[in-house]
Amino acid sequence: MMHSRAPVNAVIMPRMTEAVVDVRELRKTFRVSEREEGLGATLRSFVSRHRKDVNAVAGITFRIEAGEVVGFLGPNGAGKTTTLKMLSGLLHPTAGEARVLEYVPWRRENAYLKSMTLLMGNRTQLVWDIPAADSFRVLQEIYRIPEEQFRATVKELTELLELGELVHKPVRNLSLGERMKVEFAAGLIHSPRVAFLDEPTIGLDISMQSRIRRFVAEYNRRNGATILLTSHYMDDVVALCKRVIVIHRGRLLYDGPLADLAERMAPYKIITATLHDGAASSADLDAYGTVVSREEGRVTIRVDRHVAPERTARLVNDLGDRLADISVEDPPIEEVIDRVFTSEQTTVSA
């Protein structure tokens, strides 16, 4: 469903002079066929197909400056991957404009393709049956990387990603996490200035997710690469992105600092109080705010953001020696994002 109101709480980013990624009113509409379930509907679809237009991306505008790491957030089907595919040059948009490093991505000029990479967490670009080191050599020739630069880049990536002997095993023999590491190396071997990362940690265990995060941060620091990252793991976003762009149903909902997202979208704070005498004493805490949970002497209270300091001070004062510990935090980012999408859905259906 299309709706035309302005993005909720969107922050209009100032137009600066040098944007690495400059997107204006970008749209992508897919024509898809649909039918009802059942044999009858299947047979009818052979004769007559019902098609409808799906606005995967419904006119988004944003800019990213050189060296930024931006989180691109949205629920499944929000249009994140479609946007990345357009910005990398895989898809032609239905309307709108985009420039990345001054290139129009979907023209796929060689100079542009040498300057960017698209890494998708669940896809492989390496030759399955040979060691990654051999694929690296092929990529060296395709990207025309001088030998000295190639050796230095491989050395750096091997060190950062702790590749070790992995590059000498056939790719098909690597675990998912190991394969993702060599995929990263292959995708970055030409030292791209812009990297589009689509769910780079999907399916990886906690330790490997953390390693990939450290790598992306370090790569950005060392090379000054501009990175646009999608992830359903908020830890990725919190660890890497100072700025986030939130889209839903193809429309931009928020573009601004991650730190401000909670303030704008979740007007409350979470006070967590740990009590020496346990949960039994917490019955009277409702007066301070909404008690969200009580477990083993730890009480979590939600309070309006603007009264949080006063309520915290009162708690400390009133509880006195019963209080073992207290903290005041923004709600978890997952909760904030969920609230953004929920409030958007409510608005649309209203």
**Which amino acid, one-letter code, is at 100?**
V
How near is the Cβ of 169 to other proteins at its closest, in Å?
A: 13
Query: Quick one: 61 or 140, whose CB is closer to other proteins?
Result: 140
3-state secondary structure of 266: coil
3-state secondary structure of 73: strand
3-state secondary structure of 190: coil
Query: Quick one: 131 or 289, whose CB is closer to other proteins?
Result: 131
Query: Quick one: 45 or 274, whose CB is closer to other proteins?
Result: 45
Query: Quick one: 106 or 233, whose CB is closer to other proteins?
Result: 106
Query: Quick one: 120 or 319, whose CB is closer to other proteins?
Result: 120
Going from the C-alpha of 311 to that of each of 294, 295, 298, the distances in angstroms are 18, 21, 17
3-state secondary structure of 33: strand
How near is the Cβ of 85 to other proteins at its closest, in Å?
A: 5
DSSP 8-state assignment for residue 94: S
Site for other proteins, rule CB under 8 A: 30, 85, 88-92, 106, 108, 110, 113-114, 117-118, 120, 123-125, 127-130, 134-135, 137-143, 170
Query: Quick one: 143 or 233, whose CB is closer to other proteins?
Result: 143
**Which amino acid, one-letter code, is at 223?**
N
Residues 141, 294: Cα–Cα separation, whole Å: 61
Helix pair angle (206-223, 176-188), 10° resolution: 10
Q: Are 106 and 86 in contact (CB under 8 A)?
A: yes
How near is the Cβ of 232 to other proteins at its closest, in Å?
A: 18
How near is the Cβ of 227 to other proteins at its closest, in Å?
A: 16
Query: Quick one: 124 or 274, whose CB is closer to other proteins?
Result: 124
| Residue 314 structure tokens | 């009162």
Q: Is the dihedral of CA 3, 242, 334, 81 positive or negative?
A: positive
How near is the Cβ of 118 to other proteins at its closest, in Å?
A: 6
How near is the Cβ of 124 to other proteins at its closest, in Å?
A: 7
3-state secondary structure of 157: helix
How near is the Cβ of 144 to other proteins at its closest, in Å?
A: 8
Residue 162 CB burial class (10 angstroms; 0-12, 13-18, ≥19):
exposed
